[in-house]
Amino acid sequence: MKDYGRTNWRRFAVAVGVPTVVAGGLVLALANGALAANFTIAGEQFKLSASKLVGNGFTQYSGELETKDGTIPAAMSGIEDATLTDLCQSVAVGPVTLRIEAGDDEKHPVKATNLLIGMSSLGGDATFEDIQIGLDAGTLDRAQDEAKGDPGAFGQQARVVTIHNLRQQAYYTSASTFTLNGMNLTFHVGGKHECYYE
């Protein structure tokens, strides 16, 4: 039986790496493409929710991410320019949860450029403008150059995507800029403090 009264702090530090870096401002150049082998992710999932996401320049394709234990499949999404309202991002390890909230004022939302996300699930009410489905993932060109898949793989893209009541579980996020207006970062021990529960 697991002892949920204790926290593996080394594991927790790895798991919170992505949201903690994002909170300080993340600038990451993916010179060798979205699935380059020159970085390894922790493999821990974190949750993200928002009342509204608007993305200009959207691509989506299947891919893989590297962990210390090997590769894991992921749905990859690129957004050239995104705004998010009521953003919440959380990661839980044992009884400890790190939670980041920002952009609760619609006039001052969270903003991101060249956003790239590796996820396992995505939900919400989505509207796509000028969508193209079934493209060769290697030819995707609506988002940044890195946001495309392997040649011959399945891909889709849209000029604009709008998602209400966004719910996402992700392994990895990068952005050229990530502006968290009205940010609030809190640690919680015990209780339920993740951004959402299914």
196: in domain: no
Residue 44, pLDDT > 70, answer yes
Say which residue, 35 or 48, is predicted with more confidence: 48
pLDDT at 31: 29
Domain containing 15 equals 9-30+42-189
3-state SS class at 18:
helix
Task: Transcribe 147-178 into DSSP letters.
Answer: ----TTSEEEEEEEEEEEEEEEEEEEEE-SEE
197: in domain: no
22: in domain: yes
127: in domain: yes
- Mark out the alpha helices in the chain (DSSP H runs): 9-15, 17-24
2: in domain: no
35: in domain: no
Is pTM, for the whole model, over 0.95? no
Which residue, 155, 55, 75, 86, is CA-closest to 119? 75
Q: How confident is the model at residue 91 (pLDDT cuts 50, 70, 90)?
A: very high
Query: What is the average pLDDT across 168-192?
Result: 94
3-state SS class at 20:
helix
167: in domain: yes
Instruction: Say how far apart CA 61 and CA 115 lie, in whole Å.
Output: 14
Number of domains within the chain: 1
Query: What is the average pLDDT across 105-110?
Result: 93
3-state SS class at 141:
coil
195: in domain: no
